Homo-oligomer: A and B are copies of this chain.
Amino acid sequence: MTPVNAIALPPKICIGSRAQANSACTNCNLRGLCVPAGLSSEELEHLDTLVTTRRTVHRGETLFRRGDRFASIYAVRSGFFKTTISSEDGRDQVTGFQMTGELLGLDGIGDSSHNCDAVALEDSAVCVIPFARLEGLAHEFAGLQREFHRVMSREIVRDHGVMLLLSGMSAEERLAAFLVNLARRLEARGFSSSSFVLRMTRAEIGAYLGLKLETVSRTFSKLQNDGILDVRQREVHIVDPIALSRLVSDDAA
């Protein structure tokens, strides 16, 4: 009913091929976002032979948990996930939010068991990529190998960015950085970069940004009062994108 419905996040990405058809990647309209981004068409066809199974994960369910045996990585086909790690004393840290085309499970390779929980924040579907077979294929096709290395490296760079954010930024800067990042990723997927619906709670945003949920809420309110955002619950409209970006690391004006 609200006008924002029109710009809701995931309008059920329509798939070019049936789930069973073995042209999983070749015809997938996420090609440009997912692993296949840098591959030749020949390599792509080989990737197709790999990605034969899909899996749906309903809202609130886990795709995998910490300690699960690692066998596959996953590409988000539709929906939205969070990954979390938790310390012994119960606090937990959201290590990332994954949207369409992004990978889950890379942290499981190191010791062959998953090191975080992956939870669907809405009904989602993933492509299952058996890791042994991916390695086998990467072994044959240098392009795929290289692309996979790139993906892992970018994940490391991303994590370093989050470290910078957690280390030195104010609540306002953190939330601004979070929203700018989200907007950019949504835009890359063909959605509006100025209006969207958050898929996560204030508490989950806080667990990602190193803030308490009350602080997240207060900061949203402040950005609204400053005329930068228009926030109604999870619906976010970025009124002044320039001011928002200026907030990200820019106190030393």
| A contact set with B: CB distance below 8 Å | 85, 87-91, 93, 95, 106-111, 115-116, 135-136, 138-139, 142, 145-146, 148-157, 159-164, 166-168, 207, 209-210, 249-252
Q: How far is the CA of A151 from the CA of B110 in the complex (A)?
A: 6
Q: Which residues of B contact A88 (CB under 8 A)?
A: 249-250
Closest to A249 in B: B87
A145–B139 CB distance below 8 A: yes
B139–A142 CB distance below 8 A: yes
Question: Chain B nearest CB: distance from A35 CB in Å?
Answer: 13
A153–B152 CB distance below 8 A: yes
B85–A164 CB distance below 8 A: yes
Question: Chain B nearest CB: distance from A5 CB in Å?
Answer: 33
Q: Which residues of B contact A107 (CB under 8 A)?
A: 153, 156-157, 160
Q: How many chain copies does the complex carry?
A: 2
Partner of A106, one of B90, B142, B153: B153
Partner of A156, one of B106, B142, B146, B161: B106
Q: Which residues of B contact A146 (CB under 8 A)?
A: 135
Q: Which residues of B contact A135 (CB under 8 A)?
A: 142, 145-146, 149
Q: How far is the CA of A183 from the CA of B64 in the complex (A)?
A: 32
Q: Which residues of B contact A142 (CB under 8 A)?
A: 135-136, 139
Closest to A154 in B: B110
Q: Which residues of B contact A153 (CB under 8 A)?
A: 106-110, 152
* Max count, chain B CB within 10 A of own CB: residue among A108, A115, A145, A152: A152
Q: A135-B145, A145-B145, A168-B210 are in contact. Are A89 and B250 (CB under 8 A)?
A: yes
Q: Which residues of B contact A156 (CB under 8 A)?
A: 106-107, 110, 152, 155-156, 159
Question: Chain B nearest CB: distance from A155 CB in Å?
Answer: 6
B115–A168 CB distance below 8 A: no
